[in-house]
Structure formats: C-alpha cells, structure tokens
C-alpha cells in the first residue's frame, strides 16, 4: 500500500510541508504501512509545471500521485481556498485519475473563518478526479501547529479506520 503526501505550498520548507508529511506518517502508521510516505513537493516543480515542454520531474510526480493508495493533499489557505499551484498540478490529471485512491484533504489556515474551505473547495476537486474522500478534511489552524503531534494523532485515530476500510473495499493496487 502506498501513501503519498502532495504539498501545494509554493514555498520550500513550509509549515504546510511539515504538516502534510506528519499527517501522511500518522495515517500510514495507523493503517499498518511501515514504509515512509512518498512526498510530492510542488514548490520544487513550480518553475517547470506550466512549461511548454514536458518535465521529467512533473511526470514522476503525476505517477506518484496517481499510483497512491492513500493521498494526503495539503495546501495553505490562500484567499479562502487552496493554492493555484496545487490546482495547476491537479489540472494535469485526467478525469478519474484518482479513482482507486483514498484522498485526505488538509488545509493550513490562519483564521478559523476559513475552516469550511477544506470541505467546500478541496474535497470537491478530489472527488471530481475520482478519489474516494471517506472522511472530513482537516482544517489545521496555524495556532495548532505548536501542538501538531497531538492534533494529528487525534485526527489520524479518527480517519485511519475509514481509510483502511475504503482501501480494502475498493481494491488497492498493491
């Protein structure tokens, strides 16, 4: 079973990156996946994502994402939704590309007023790509980052049984 973290922050080494990797690790450990999650960091691909010629890095990233059994999709909240960088990457996927993937949306935000963005904006995008989104997404407030391990432990304890059930029921590729 493969677990992948997709990070849509345009800044390298961001708090979103740390949260995404930690979230993927927390879920992976609870569903019995011993291998560390793969990470697709879009900040590294930003210069070539919209280039007119294909990029080997982008192609590898697309393969990792479409090959994931469990995909944690993380972005900071910009203007009440996910980043344009994440949208530009996901727009490269054909319809149904995530049809055998359990996706877990995660948005990092500064204001709790944006908490619904994970369900109203990011979840529908993942569903449009065919992903199974078996749980509510995680709206992670910047103020919670100091207690990230505790927040993610509670979240992963809640979502892991649902993820494992969906992955088993829907026929994992592994």
pLDDT (tens digit per residue) in 75-111 = 999 999 999 999 999 999 999 999 999 999 999 999 9
Band of residue 55 on the pLDDT scale cut at 50, 70, 90: very high
In angstroms, the CA 11 to CA 79 distance is: 16
3-state secondary structure of 171: coil
Q: Where does residue 130 fall: left (phi above 0), alpha (psi -120 to 50 degrees), or beta otherwise?
A: left
What pLDDT was estimated at residue 173?
A: 45
- Structure-derived torsion over alpha carbons of residues 118, 120, 123, 125, reported in degrees to the nearest 10: -120
> How confident is the model at residue 136, as a pLDDT?
87
**DSSP-assigned states of every residue in 63-85:** HHHHT-SEEEEEEE-BTTB--HH
CATH architecture of 3-167: 3-Layer(aba) Sandwich (3.40)
- Where do the domains of the chain lie? 3-167
Q: Is the pLDDT of residue 165 over 90?
A: no
- 103 token code pair: 């996706």
Q: Name residue 70's beta-bridge partners.
A: 3, 102
| Model pLDDT, residue 141 | 96
- pLDDT tens track for 146-162: 999 999 999 999 999 98
pTM of the model: 0.94
pLDDT of residue 172: 45
Helix (H, G, I), strand (E, B) or coil at 131: coil
* 3 state SS of 26: helix
User: Do the beta carbons of residue 135 and residue 102 sit within 8 Å?
Assistant: no
Euclidean distance between CA atoms 150 and 130, whole angstroms: 31
């Amino acid at each position: 079973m493969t677990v992948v973290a997709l990070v849509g922050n345009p800044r390298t080494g961001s708090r979103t990156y740390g949260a995404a990797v930690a979230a993927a690790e927390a879920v992976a450990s609870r569903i019995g996946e011993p291998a560390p999650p793969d990470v697709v960091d879009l900040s590294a691909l930003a210069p070539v994502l919209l280039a007119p010629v294909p990029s080997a890095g982008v192609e590898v990233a697309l393969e990792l994402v479409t090959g994931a059994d469990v995909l944690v999709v993380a972005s900071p909240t910009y203007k009440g939704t996910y980043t344009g960088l994440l949208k530009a990457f996901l727009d490269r996927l054909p319809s149904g590309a995530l049809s055998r993937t359990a996706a877990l949306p995660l948005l990092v935000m500064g204001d709790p007023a944006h908490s619904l963005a994970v369900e109203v904006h990011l979840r529908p995008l993942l569903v449009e790509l065919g992903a199974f989104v078996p749980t509510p997404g995680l709206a992670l407030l910047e103020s919670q980052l100091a207690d990230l391990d505790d927040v993610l432990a509670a979240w992963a304890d809640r979502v892991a049984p649902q993820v494992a059930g969906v992955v088993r029921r829907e026929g994992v590729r592994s």
